[in-house]
Amino acid sequence: MICLSELDNRLSIEKSDPGRRGVMVKNPLKAKASLPQALLRKAAPRLPELSEFDVVRHFTRLSRLNFSLDTHFYPLGSCTMKYNPRFNEEAAALEGFAGLHPLAHDSSAQGTLELLHDLSARLCELCGMDAITLQPAAGAHSEFTGLLTAKAYFEAKRETRTEIIVPDSAHGTNPATASMMGFATVGINSGPDGKVNLYDLKKHLNSRTAVLMLTVPNTLGIFETNIEEICRLAHAAGALVYMDGANFNAMIGMIKPGELGVDIMHLNTHKTFSTPHGGGGPGAGAIAVKKALAPFLPVPLVKKEGAGYASDFGDKRSIGKVKAFFGNTGVLVRAYAYLLAHSAAEFGEIARCAIINANYVRTLLKDIYPSYSAEYCMHECVLTPGADLAAKGLKTLDVAKRLLDLGFHAPTIYFPLIVHEAIMIEPTETESRETLDEFVAAMRAVHAEGLADPQKLKDAPHNMPVKRLDEVQAARQPNLHW
């Protein structure tokens, strides 16, 4: 049954009833008398006048118009939406962590320092790296920090290197970071298999190359099987290899990038090691490096001192600070809780589940949604609507919009850019087979319906509070008023 208030699409200001109040201020005149006259408003603010109950119903209704991970499957993957264990929230809320003053002296922050020290050691071990900073606020900020570190490394060696090589299958933040740092970005093309084209790489590597930035797995969900050869070629040119490891859940416990030749890599602790971060934050990145780059990392780090722990401000080779204090420690507490909840053997299991789930979906859909690559994928698969849907004039957007009606958040669409009409699906390691079966059934139902009644897809969504938007008009003439 639909409750009447669910159909009430009025804004809170439209529901306003003059004189209705949520909170009664005791003695408002007395409060008014105590304020300087010059600061008093001439006219009352135009605020909705509602009871507390009206407000609760209003916002609860709004919250239910949204898809959320607690109500729906999100094929967007760890990039925003894998399941985050509730236990981690409890750990982060512990008074000793949440209530610690950022300026507290080391001696009264021993618990947090120990946590950061141990977390650093565990992450270094998983990555096969020698040193790590937990200061960056997120993935893109980590890339920035990693390139600053690389720049300082070359400056110390008195080498001038001006170029960053970025394959076309890299995450979009990689070329953006390189340009922001003032480097020239040199693009290289993927081969037909979706991997770095070694011939093209060799052609572009030279004494100007500072860093090769590799996204692994790349945005096609494919593992660079030639990564050792790629690292060898880069090193032979005197360049460093940066690995964007934002999606480390695809290889955690199975591969240590440091052992393959990677010099600098970032982790998105808010993806791989949990923390809800949909809508832009908060996050916590980490830059793990080989020994030669360690002196240049941002400070403070944490070192062991006597029986306890202390802030380590390094020396003047450090690039300084990239974020206040130790970074977003609340997120790091969650990452630590997540790490402690899994044994070493279970890390490999996380990666295997992420990979199996993506390949399960890909295999059950590839007869009607052709897969970009013939190979097995890692944690995500890239599909496209088949020629039969295209012949009906249907596009990826139509499929995505119709999925909403069937109770599934749309996957990432039109990304990666190198795949025409891309549909990228990342189920993550935390979804059950039943959920994936339901999702596959919905994708198949949309396909069948598209062939039988294409208009139904073109007009979708039908059951959502907001119907198909005119995206061009929304971009050119946004309605910012009510």
Ligand X SMILES: *Cc1c(COP(=O)(O)O)cnc(C)c1O
Q: Which residues bind ligand X (CB under 6 A)?
A: 79, 138-140, 171, 173, 215, 244, 246-247, 268, 283
- Least distance (Å) from ligand X to the CB of residue 51? 40
- Least distance (Å) from ligand X to the CB of residue 138? 3
Tokens in use for 468?
Answer: 């198909």
Are the beta carbons of 1 and 36 closer than 8 angstroms?
A: no
Q: Give the number of other CB atoms < 10 A from CB of residue 214.
A: 27
Of 50 and 140, which CB lies nearer to ligand X in the complex structure? 140
Place of tokens 């909403």: 404
Of 286 and 301, which CB lies nearer to ligand X in the complex structure? 286
- Least distance (Å) from ligand X to the CB of residue 179? 15
Give the chain's radius of gyration (CA, Å): 26
The partner residues of 425 in beta bridges, in order of sequence, read 381
Of 243 and 294, which CB lies nearer to ligand X in the complex structure? 243
DSSP state of 24: P
Give the β-pairing of 131-133 and 264-268.
Answer: unpaired
Helix H or strand E encompassing 188: strand 184-188
Of 117 and 334, which CB lies nearer to ligand X in the complex structure? 334
346-376 b/e (C-beta count within 10 Å ≥ 16 → b): ebeebbebbbbbbbbbbebbeebbebbbeeb
The partner residues of 383 in beta bridges, in order of sequence, read 371, 423
Q: Give the number of other CB atoms < 10 A from CB of residue 83.
A: 15
Are the beta carbons of 402 and 443 closer than 8 angstroms?
A: no
Of 172 and 370, which CB lies nearer to ligand X in the complex structure? 172
Of 79 and 354, which CB lies nearer to ligand X in the complex structure? 79
- Least distance (Å) from ligand X to the CB of residue 73? 19
**Chain residue whose CB lies nearest ligand X:** 139
- Least distance (Å) from ligand X to the CB of residue 171? 3
- Least distance (Å) from ligand X to the CB of residue 273? 12
- Least distance (Å) from ligand X to the CB of residue 146? 11
* Burial (0-12, 13-18, 19+ Cβ within 10 Å), 219: buried
Of 173 and 329, which CB lies nearer to ligand X in the complex structure? 173
